[in-house]
Amino acid sequence: VGTPGRISLLFDVFVLNQHLRVLLTETLAGTGMRPDEYAVYSLLFEEGPLPPTDMAAAMGMPLTTVLDYLRAMREKRHVRRTRNPRDGRSYLVSLTKTGLVAFHRASAAWNRAVRHLEGALTVPSAEVRHALQALDDAASTAIGLLDAERAEVAR
Amino acid sequence: VGTPGRISLLFDVFVLNQHLRVLLTETLAGTGMRPDEYAVYSLLFEEGPLPPTDMAAAMGMPLTTVLDYLRAMREKRHVRRTRNPRDGRSYLVSLTKTGLVAFHRASAAWNRAVRHLEGALTVPSAEVRHALQALDDAASTAIGLLDAERAEVAR
């Protein structure tokens, strides 16, 4: 079988994701939230109120995807909109009291998983985050290079 | 807006994933393969022939998910089965000539993106892989702890 999972950096990321998905989906089972939904709630909890465009930038998601999440959250009355004092054409999103209750129910389970995960790390958490950040920066640069190549070909 | 993306290690992973998905989906556009499919083809290319159970283990996926990928690949005649000499009840999967052609078409684009990505890394690639591996090991340990807790509650 050789050394599966040692193929490349990106294969490592792929496998890591699969494992984290198993951990987090099991962790959140019964809380009514998926891991990707939890990320949206936690962003609003930690950094809200935010305009949808800032949410999209912070999560690395297209705006349309953020709006899909927000529509589902509004239907559950988990988010509300307020006027954006810095931009009259935009609005700010924040969690409602019901949204906070849903978030806190999920975050009790989530934090237990995070404690297990960080407790099991044999490398300092700051070092791991530094590496993830470097990879994320490189991905942004690579996206820029790809776009530039395409523009070159299209000229 | 504070410092979006600095919420937690897992939020970092989430955002990294979003960015890598953009990069790799753009990279593979027009090759007829999605990034997750590319991962399956590359495993078979690098490590095949493999039984489906080994593929599942290497990718951190449930066996059923691997079988879904393989069904789609068989319909395109991209994979074939051969007898597993080590286990008569199992079989080995490998890429056919047509599957190899599809893989090589995608891998030309993929490798260009990987070169951009690795070229833009400000941290040695081995360091990043070490951090990813540590996080992956911790995820496996955390899954074990979660399962043990559940078994305890169920007793």
Beta-carbon separation of A117 and B127 below 8 A: no
A-B CB pairs within 8 A amount to: 219
Q: Do B17 and A13 touch (CB under 8 A)?
A: yes
Residues of A in contact with B133 (CB under 8 A): 12
Most distant pair of Cα atoms in chain B: their distance: 60
- Reported as a single tens digit per residue, the pLDDT across B98-152 is 999 999 999 999 998 999 999 999 999 999 999 999 999 999 999 998 888 888 8
Question: Which of B47, B120, B139 shows the shortest C-beta gap to A2?
Answer: B47
Is the pLDDT confidence value at A3 over 60?
A: no
Q: Which long-range contacts (CB under 8 A, 24 or more apart) does B107-115 make?
A: B107/B38, B107/B42, B107/B45, B109/B27, B109/B28, B109/B30, B109/B31, B110/B24, B110/B27, B110/B28, B110/B38, B112/B27, B113/A142, B113/A146, B113/B23, B113/B24, B113/B27, B114/A8, B114/A9, B114/A10
pLDDT of residue A102: 96
Average pLDDT over residues B56-78: 96
Q: What is the pLDDT of residues A41-90, one digit of tens each?
A: 999 999 999 999 999 999 999 999 999 999 999 999 999 999 999 888 88
Do A142 and B113 lie within an 8 Å CB cutoff?
yes
Judged by CB atoms closer than 8 Å, whether chains meet at A7 and B141 is answered as no
A44: exposed, middle or buried (Cβ count in 10 Å: 0-12, 13-18, 19+) = buried
- Which residue in A20, A123, A141 is closest to B134 by CB distance? A123
Token pair listed for A80: 């509300």
> For A98-144, how does the pLDDT look when each residue is reduced to its tens digit (9 = 90+)?
999 999 999 999 998 999 999 999 999 999 999 999 999 999 999 99
Cα angle for residues B139, B41, B64 (degrees, 5° grid): 55
Are residues A13 and B16, on separate chains, in Cβ contact within 8 Å? yes
- CA of A74, closest CA in chain B: separation in Å? 22
Chain A residue nearest residue B45, CA to CA: A7
Mean pLDDT of chain B: 91
CB contact under 8 A, A114 and B8: yes
pLDDT for res A147 = 86
What is the ipTM score, two decimals? Answer: 0.87
